[in-house]
Structures are given as C-alpha cells and as structure tokens.
Amino acid sequence: MEQQKSLNAINYAKTDQAQVGQHNDDMLRAQTFKNETEARAQMGQRFDMDTEAVDNAIQQAKVNGGFSANKQVYAARQLAKTGTGYNNLEQVHATVAGISGNNKAMADSLIGSINSDTKGAGRFDLAAGFGTHQGLYKATLAHNQAENAFSSAQAAHQSGQLSNADFQVATANAQVADAEYAEHIKQGYVSAVKGTGTIEMLRSKPIAQDNVMPALSEALYDARNTAANDHAGYNAEGQSLQLLAQEEAGRLSTVVENYKQSTAYASPQVAQKFDDNAYIPTTSERREVKQESSMVSPNAVTYDRVTGQPSIQYERRDSTPVYDTSGAVVRDASGAPVRNIVRDASGAPVREVLVDRQGTPIPLANPNYREDVANGVNEQSSRPLFPPGDPRNPS
C-alpha cells in the first residue's frame, strides 16, 4: 500500500497542478494535511505561521485542487526539495508523523526521500541520516503521546476530575518528555554535521547554520564536561562514558577547526552565522590556553633538543613581552620589547621537547629544525638545484 501511495505521488508530481505549485512553500505546507479542517487547526503551530498566512495557504491549496492523500505525500517530499519548506527537524518529523501515523513503512519511505533531497537543496541540517531519522520518527510519536496525555490531564484538572498532586505529576512527566525530545533533535543536528563535508556545509543556506551550530556547540561542551568527569560511569554495553566523551570531544573539535579553516568557501552571510553560533572559546578560555601553551610548570622537565638530556627546570617559557608595574612594555636599549624566554645555564634559549608517558623525549618531526629560522630571524638555505660550482645555482 505504501508503494502504491508513493507511485500515486510520483504520478501526481507530473500533473499541471503539481508543476504550478512546486515552489510554493505555504501551499505545500497546507497540502501536507488531510483536509482543510486539520490544516486550519494544526498548520500554524507546526510551521510557525500566523492566522493570515494560514488562511492564504489554505486558499491557495483549494485553488490548486484541494487536499488528498497523494498531495500529502507529494507535498511532504517537495518541501524538502525547495530548501525552504522545512525550518527545522521538528517540522520534518511532525509532518512525517502526521501523514504516516504508526505506519512505519510509510514513514521510512518519506524520511528516505527527504533525507536524500535536503542536501541537494542546501539543507544539510535536515540530512541527519536514515537511521537517525528513524529514531527521530519514533521519538516524535512518543512525544506526541506525551503531549496528548498532558492535554488530557490538563482538561481533567480544569474540570476538577484530577487532583493537584496528580496534575503536578503529569506536568513533570511532560517536562521530561520535552527535554528528551529536545535531546533527540540536538543529536539529529550533530549527526547531520558528522555526515557532511565541511565545504558542503559552508555552502548551505544560512538557516542550516542557525540549526546545527548551537547544537554542535552544546554537544561539544557536554562532551568536554563528561570527559573531565572521573565518575561519569559506564553505559549499558560496559563502555566508559568518560572515554567515549573524550573521543566525541575530539571529533567535534576537529569539525569546528575544519570549519574555521574553510570559511573562505562560504558566503559572507554563512560565515557570519558560523561566527555567531559556532563553538568559540571565551576570552578567559583563550587567555588560559595562551598561558598553558607558553608556560612550563615548575615540576615539568625540559630536555635539550640536541643531547636529549634533562635540562635545568624553569617555571616559565614565555614569548610574550615583559611589562613593568605601570603596565608598559619593557624595552631594551635598541627599543625592542624585552621578552620572557627560558634559557639554560649557558644563557642559550631552551626549547621544550614533548615527552611520552614514560618521560622519554619524542623525536622531532623535523630533525633539521632551527629556532632562528622558525622565528623568522634567519632564512634557511635550500639545497643547490644544480651541481656545486654551477653558475645557475643561486648565490
């Protein structure tokens, strides 16, 4: 039966009626409902439309042939193709659940096509992946049941048939259901981010950034907090939640860094959306990171990069200028800023070397590393292009 409905919707898409209204979002939204009565009752809340917009959409739908099961399926799919039909995942799954009900096969057919079409329409935020969409569909049905239960409890309480204590329990249950559903939606956006290339995401419509970036930022903070919790516990499979969170934080941090490095591919509006909504360290976090990267703790061991032997312990290794008590930069006789630099017993600058867990120095990736070249003091000469003595070699 579901296949027949899909075929009917495909055939309807070829008609003049469908062709005329294929880019009319409001009309298509109205046609996702069974009839005018249902559209008038639910459309405003589902698609965040005012009464006037709902009335206009319904009138356009009636002029376009009205309402039918074929139009429902067609409209739900076409809204994904326009790129502006659905504002968020909640609207997608409210529509899918409204058309399919408990018919999982019908829901799978709809979310399969919607998940496929949204990326091509510049809406990667709605392409959470088929498996994730299936979970969101189930979560939507459960949330709808919770909302219906609360509405019934509210009506019973207003009529005096439900005590205050029982109504408080019903309210608490509804709040829990709302929080659980919000978490499902957030994970849907995070899943969409993981399954999409950075450049493709940056070339999407700005509304996609509005949806996914707050969810990505919150998920990253959650992962960082759990990763720092030594008592996070274990999941049902016996896996450490702390270790899983560390892996997740690493993955999400990589996504954010890739975004930062690829913003040149984005439109100015999308790049601004990223700056406004993405995970951005606070001023204090930036300062802490800077201090951590420029200091060696009193108990740390620095190693001579040539001999590999432990050197004298120093508290600071800082390249920032030295400031006097008034806050002014201290300068030497030549006028250059005086900087805090760790030096060994001979007065030569000491470069910190990374060590492994056993304290063994990790070999440099570039054994020919030169501090003066890296800091721009001197230039590193390249190998001659031609045999020695050949006049074509640069002097």
Instruction: Assess whether 218 and 150 both reside in one domain.
Output: no
Q: Both 87 and 227 in a single domain?
A: no
CA distances from residue 209 to 190, 252, 265, 389 in whole angstroms, order as listed: 12, 15, 14, 59
Q: Give the pTM.
A: 0.66
Give how many domains the chain has, as a whole number.
3
Residue type, 269: Q
- Whether 273 and 308 map to the same domain: the answer is no
Bridge partners (DSSP) listed for residue 310: 303
CA gap 260, 283 in Å, rounded:
17
pLDDT in tens, 160-173: 999 999 999 999 99
Decide which of 170, 196, 222 is a domain's last residue: 196
Q: Which range among 127-131, 310-314, 374-378 shows the weakest confidence by mean pLDDT?
A: 310-314
Residue 330 belongs to a domain = no
Residue 303 sits in the same domain as residue 251: no
Name the residue with tokens 């490095």.
261
Task: Please say whether the dihedral angle defined by the alpha carbons of residues 349, 354, 358 and 361, taken in this order, is positive or negative.
Answer: negative
Q: What is the pLDDT of residues 231-274, one digit of tens each?
A: 888 988 889 999 999 998 888 888 877 777 776 666 677 767 66
Among the listed residues 212, 194, 202, 191, the one whose alpha carbon sits nearest the alpha carbon of residue 260: 202
Residues 175 and 246 both lie in one domain: no
Last residue of a domain, one of 162, 196, 230: 196
pLDDT digits (tens, 9 = 90+) for 67-115: 998 899 999 999 999 999 999 999 999 999 999 999 999 999 999 999 9
Question: Which residues lie below 8 Å from residue 322, measured CB to CB, with a gap of 6+?
Answer: 329, 330, 337, 338, 339, 340
Confidence of residue 37 (pLDDT cuts 50, 70, 90): very high
Report yes or no: 295 and 319 within 8 Å, Cβ to Cβ: no
Extract the tokens encoding 88.
């968020």
* Shared-domain flag, residues 13 and 128: yes
Residue 266 and residue 150 share a domain: no
Q: Does any domain span residue 139?
A: yes
Give phi and psi for 343, each to the nearest 5.
-130, 155
104 shares its domain with 219: no
- Do 266 and 153 sit in the same domain of this protein? no
Note whether 30 and 117 are same-domain residues. Answer: yes
Query: 217 and 192 in one domain?
Result: no
Instruction: Let me know whether 215 and 113 are in one domain.
Output: no
Range of the domain at 33: 2-196
Q: Is the pLDDT of residue 284 over 50?
A: no
